[in-house]
Amino acid sequence: MLSHFNVLSMEINTLLNSGPAFEYPVIRENLNLYKIKLNSKLLKIKEKLQTLLPDIRAGREGAKELNNLLVKANESPFEFVKSEAFLNSRSLEIRALNLLTDGFNEYSLKNFRVADFKQPTRAQIMTNYHHVVVLDVNILQSKQITQKFLQNEKINSSFWYNNDAKASELGKQKKLFKNFLEANQNSNKFGYLISINLRDEDQPIRVQAKRSGVADSLDFIIPDVRQIGKPRVTFVSYDHFKISVTKPNNTWVTHFLVEYWPIIDDSEESKTSLKFAFSQQNTQNVTITNLNHLTTYEFRIVHVTEFGISPNGEIVSVTTKPSSEPTMLKFQSSES
């Protein structure tokens, strides 16, 4: 019995020493609540054993009380299998958080934070930026659930991260969010927050767009660079070219940028960016003018939302013609 308690003590200490336990108050509170109750239970058992064991060794009565002690321990929430399942769920919770935040730790951006719903850094992003995109990850065990477990009440031990479809969706949204953040890093206009919230099995992941802290009624759809596709060049002249741009299936994308530059000079100073609004049509034709003749240009498309721009689309090259098309040709016979 005591060996099982020692194993549980080592496991809870390992979890308390994990990164997420230091970073997120809710996790630390839950783990500490379990640890305090576990240590209290262990102390009471040791005190009882100190009384019973000498009597048993001396041949006096005590075996029955010892058996009752074992029965009560097995009926408590600290029964080994029961507590192991609880701690495994906490371990899975922590591993899921590590996977979620992996790749963001190297960022030191003024417009990005990862915070649980109790941390003040969450409010800082909301206060400093009028437009904020929030990736809600509803993953944390509530204190009430932990208290129910310690009161030996039955709790729902299922975890949505075990669901392959839901875990895959989180991976997809994390990648989209990371790419979107990188395209808008250190922006003075847009803030980005990964919010770690209490568990919600029905809606574990959600992306919200907030204006001055008020969420839009529609969930935000993060622009996907794959929806930009490859723009099609439809006409080339000596001083301009025309392209056809496909409208994405994302109502949050309202405009697009065409960024272009001569291939011999791709410095930021040489790049020109033109902004166009998407129309109701599925494809849109635009003209890029004031170009040099017989020059190769590169260009790309960037989608624009109210809450930031998408990552850069695929680069396409086009070469202008050497001169304009002749407008009048006169044929003269060589015969005299």
Residues 74 and 118 grouped into a single domain: no
Helix (H) or strand (E) holding 173: helix 164-183
Residues 150 and 217 grouped into a single domain: yes
Q: Which residues of 234-270 are buried (b: 16+ CB within 10 A; e: fewer)?
A: eeebbeebbbebbbbebebbeebbbbbbeeeeeeeee
Residues 164 and 211 grouped into a single domain: yes
Among 90, 94, 93, smallest CA distance to 149 is for 90
Residues 6 and 51 grouped into a single domain: yes
Residues 89 and 119 grouped into a single domain: no
Q: How many domains does the chain have?
A: 3
Does residue 280 lie within any of the structural domains? yes
Helix (H) or strand (E) holding 209: strand 205-211
Residues 12 and 46 grouped into a single domain: yes
24 is written with which tokens? Answer: 């997120």
Residues 196 and 108 grouped into a single domain: yes
- Please tell me the distance from the alpha carbon of residue 212 to that of residue 232, in angstroms, as a whole number: 39
- Please tell me the distance from the alpha carbon of residue 129 to that of residue 212, in angstroms, as a whole number: 7
End-of-domain residue from the set 63, 83, 99: 99
- Please tell me the distance from the alpha carbon of residue 193 to that of residue 112, in angstroms, as a whole number: 6
290 is written with which tokens? Answer: 């004031």
**Structural domain harbouring 249:** 225-319
**What predicted TM-score, i.e. pTM, was given to this entire model?**
0.84
Residues 71 and 146 grouped into a single domain: no
CATH number, domain at 264? 2.60.40.10
CA 47-50-53 angle, to 5 degrees, is: 140
Residues 151 and 176 grouped into a single domain: yes
Residues 229 and 298 grouped into a single domain: yes
Does residue 34 lie within any of the structural domains? yes
196 is written with which tokens? Answer: 């770690």
In Å, how far are 38, 83, 208 from 139, measured between CA atoms?
24, 20, 16
Residues 190 and 135 grouped into a single domain: yes
pLDDT tens digits, the chain, 336 residues: what are they?
Answer: 788 888 999 999 999 999 889 888 889 999 999 999 999 988 888 887 777 766 666 656 666 776 777 778 788 899 999 999 999 989 988 988 888 888 886 677 899 998 887 777 778 888 899 999 999 998 888 888 899 999 998 877 666 667 778 888 888 999 999 999 999 999 999 999 999 988 887 888 899 999 999 999 999 999 999 999 889 999 999 999 999 999 999 999 999 999 999 999 989 999 999 999 999 889 999 999 999 999 999 999 999 999 999 999 999 999 999 976 666 655 555 554
CATH number, domain at 186? 3.40.30
